[in-house]
Chains A and B, each alone.
Chain A
Amino acid sequence: MQLIVNISLKHGVLDPQGRAIGRSLTDLGFDEVSDVRVGKRILLDIDETDEARARQRVARMCETLLANTVIEDYEIEIAEGESE
């Protein structure tokens, strides 16, 4: 089963990279951009068939290593379709 972890910076945490990208977009004429936040996407193939259990394990992984919950939030989703 493949799961996707989306990691994003919490609100209120400065994102210098996002800010720089936002500035570049504005310079390129994309004036409608008011804010840019950059995150991470992690794909995990795990040996598990039960969705609830898989989510629970991946949440453990996020809390233990994948996210720093001082500054980051995470969301877990099941990837569409069966991956090889």
Chain B
Amino acid sequence: MSLSGLRVAVIVFPGSNCDRDMMVAIEQLAGRRPSLVWHKETTLDPVDLAIIPGGFSYGDYLRCGALAARAPIMEAVLDHAARGGAVMGICNGFQILLETGLLPGVLVENAGLKYVCRDTSVEVVEGTASPFTEGLSPGQRMIIPVAHNEGNYFASDDDLQRLEDNGQIAFRYTESDIIGPANPNGAARNIAGILSTNGRVLGMMPHPERAMSPALGSADGATMLNATLQALAA
């Protein structure tokens, strides 16, 4: 399949604010505009990738992602995932995926108690089997920004060990001469992104759609998204 044959949907909640950035990013890379799907929809047309974008869905009320995780569209997204469909959640989208239980753990308030908005250096972890990482090299470092108040990944020690053993940790924050200290939020084991056991669901805090051009500081987000699209189209 060519990239332009890929069907991508971006889910939109009230309070999503990276939906259009993601739409533009995917369109730039694939040559085809993803569909934007409103959270009240109850069905999802067949897609190759469903993206849950960043933002402040439902104003972060109750807990980040808690209300969005129970929105009507999410049942269709869960069905899509259960059929082995690819799902990518960025930032608030990651929080939403954790609240659905599709991925283990939870994102709690940053250890520094402050909203963090800066570039991070993210390393591709070795030993994963996933369309989100197969086009990247283990150990490859990417500069991708984060912007969040609740990005501090927490899970039980058992869950963390399982993630390690199953190759479910996709990305870790790493130290970098340019960026400085690795971990922006206190996340357990420097986790920036994790995968489902079948590798088809990715949740990550950094925003690849905000690192699409050297003019914006980094094009590593484009590299990462392009690798994903290539893998899904193969």
Which A residues are within 8 Å of any B CB, using their own CB? 13-14, 16-17, 20, 64-66, 68, 70-71
Contacts and interface: CB of A to CB of B under 8 A. Distances in A.
A68 B106 CA distance: 8
A14 B62 contact: no
Nearest to B99: A68
Interface bin, chain B: 20 to 34
A39 B63 CA distance: 12
A20 B108 CA distance: 15
The 9 closest A-B pairs by CB, nearest first: A70-B106, A16-B113, A16-B109, A71-B106, A20-B113, A68-B106, A68-B63, A16-B111, A65-B70
Contacts of A20: 113
B186 interface: yes
A13 B186 CA distance: 12
Most interface-central of A17, A64, A65, A68 (chain B CB within 10 A)? A68
B147 interface: no
A68 B63 CA distance: 8
A42 to B, nearest CB: 9
